[in-house]
Copies of this chain bind each other. A is one copy, B any other.
C-alpha cells in the first residue's frame, strides 16, 4: 500500500481524479474518454482487464468504468478479482445486455452504479462523480489510519500487550499483575506507547486503538 500521508504532509494534490475505462470496443473507449475529459477528469483506457492489473495506478482519487462483457473474463468476476487484490476503486458498470441478477450481484459487491447502454452522458457523469466522491471518502479514511498503523508496527510485543490492557481501562498496577511485571515497568512501556503512537492523551490512544481494532485476545 502506498502511504503518501506520512511522506508528504499535505501536497494539496493538484492532479485531477483518474477515471479508468475498461471496454473492448475502441469506439466506446474513445467516446467515454472525451466525455470524461470534458469535465476535467483524467482518464486511462484499457481494452482488457489484464492490462489494468499490470501497471500501477497513480495515487489519486478515482474510479473504474467497466463493461460487464469483457474479453476473457466477466466484468463481475473481474470485480471480485480486484477486490481480492485490494484494489478498492469504486466501479461503475455498463452493459449492453444486462439482466437483473447481474445487477444485483454487482451492487451487492459494492458497485456504485450499473448503467444499461445506451445511457445519457449525464447519467454516466453523475455515476462517476458519485464514485469519485466515494473513493475520496475511503482514501481519507484509510490515510488517517495509515500513519496509525505504521506507528503501531513500531511497537514491541510488550508494548502492544501493555497498550491493549491500558485501552481496556486497566490501571497500571492491574496491567502489571496481569503481565507479571512491576508497576514501574508498565509505566515505562506505557510512556513508550504514547510516544511511539504519537498521541499525548489517553483519550487519543483509545480512539487510535479503536480505529486499529486493538482488543484483548
Contacts and interface: CB of A to CB of B under 8 A. Distances in A.
Interface of A: 98-101, 103-104, 107-108, 113-114, 116, 166-170, 200-204, 206-207, 210
A68 B183 CA distance: 64
Nearest to A114: B104
Contact of A169 (B98, B113, B200, B210): B200
Contact of A100 (B116, B168, B207): B116
Contacts of A201: 169-170
Q: Is the interface of A mostly helix, strand, loop or mixed?
A: helix
A99 B95 CA distance: 13
A104 B123 CA distance: 13
Nearest to A202: B202
Contacts of A101: 116
A166 B203 CA distance: 8
Contact of A202 (B103, B107, B116, B169): B169
Contact of A167 (B108, B116, B168, B203): B203
Given A100-B114, A103-B103, A108-B113, 16 more contacts: A100-B100, A101-B116, A103-B114, A104-B114, A107-B107, A107-B108, A166-B203, A169-B200, A169-B201, A169-B202, A169-B203, A169-B204, A202-B203, A203-B206, A206-B207, A210-B210
A169 B116 CA distance: 52
